[in-house]
Homo-oligomer: A and B are copies of this chain.
Amino acid sequence: MGTKTVKTIEDIAKLANVSKSTVSRALNDSSLINPETRDRIKAIAEEHNFCMNLPARNLSRRQSCTVGFVTHSHQCGFTVEDMFGLEIMSAIGSGLDELGYDLLVIHMKPRDTSWAHQYFDSGRVDGFIMMKTGRGHAYSKLLSDMNAPFIIWGVSEPEINGCTVTGDNLSGGILATEHLIRIGRKKIAFLGGPEYDLEAQLRQKGYETAMKNAGRSIDPKLMVNGDYLLDSGIAGMKHLLEKDPDLDAVFVCGDVMAIGAIEVIQKSGRRVPEDVAVVGYDDLAIATFNNLPLTTVRQNIQMSGKLLAQNLVQSIKTGVVTHVTVPVELVVRKSA
């Protein structure tokens, strides 16, 4: 606690010679107050640099004006999804800030589900934001069972009964593939995500759509799955080059896999982008810092974070459940 002498609305009340009810109304811009009294009180508050006690207000209003960002512990160093999650968290923070909500970081342990009760039933948060994870469905059920508002970064599914925000994966796949077609590539391979992954499925559908639209045939030999990690980019690319050494382009569904793929291509004696052009996905910070800057599909992280914030708060206040898809854009750098 600070050292100031004017710390409660009661102190202000005394200074202004009114009741604390009136001070409360003034500071909250209630309609039940004489505008002149209000301005006088506000001036006094201003003059004393008064900040009212928010926890007390929230207790009284039975809300916390705080949202929990659910993340797992990172004992074992960072993976890339973590990086994406951290970048978006920052954007969520700005979004919430504008709405008068705070962002609390919730660290859940691997097989633990108590965080949900611990944070919601204790009144510490009014709702949750989660990145899509393997356990997405389980957590979704957990939260909806306790009637907690929440929003998930990921494609909406019938099993998930909360809000969702996701990038436009279909358009992303189309943009990436059309770019490779436009620059004259003949044999365009596809290095995707896990089969069950809805995002990856849509990106693949985008790839197929663009190919068909361009009158190209779709060759299953040129398609392989990965798991977004570096090693699977390496393995996937090796596999593709074995199956068809003549391929001259590849759309890789994630930036980290793309970096692995580029490594393999270069080690095989081929040049990027001259011999094989590579387009990634996500536009993580590493896409720029990589010493062969990546041409990639940018997820609009700023907008996504803002939408996650806005729609969750809306859901908290009104119960409305929304699903939104955020546009993506192609960023052309050096790799394609």
Contacts and interface: CB of A to CB of B under 8 A. Distances in A.
A120 B54 CA distance: 10
B103 A104 contact: yes
A71 B53 contact: no
A104 B83 CA distance: 19
A254 to B, nearest CB: 11
Given A49-B117, A107-B93, A289 B259 contact: yes
Number of copies: 2
Interface stretch (A36-44, A56-64, A132-140): A56-64
A95 to B, nearest CB: 10
A302 interface: yes
A192 B1 CA distance: 41
B259 A291 contact: yes
A97 B90 contact: no
A123 B82 CA distance: 31
Contacts of A262: 291
Contacts of A102: 104-105, 124
B56 A71 contact: no
A94 B74 contact: yes
Interface in A17-48: none
Contact of A120 (B2, B73, B94): B2
A230 B146 contact: no
Given A64-B55, A105-B103, A289-B256, A121 B4 contact: yes
Contacts of A97: 107
A314 interface: no
B3 A146 contact: yes
Interface string A256-269: 10010011001000
Contacts of A122: 51-55
Given A71-B93, A103-B105, A78 B285 contact: yes
Contact of A54 (B7, B123, B148): B123
Contacts of A107: 93-94, 97
Given A102-B104, A230-B289, A285-B286, 7 more contacts: A2-B148, A55-B58, A56-B123, A86-B90, A102-B105, A104-B104, A286-B289
Interface of A: 1-4, 7, 49, 51-56, 58-59, 62, 64, 66, 69, 71, 73-75, 78, 80, 82-83, 86-87, 89-91, 93-94, 97, 102-105, 107, 117-118, 120-124, 146-148, 230, 256, 259, 262-263, 266, 285-286, 288-292, 302
6 contacts: A2-B148, A51-B118, A53-B123, A66-B104, A75-B94, A286-B286
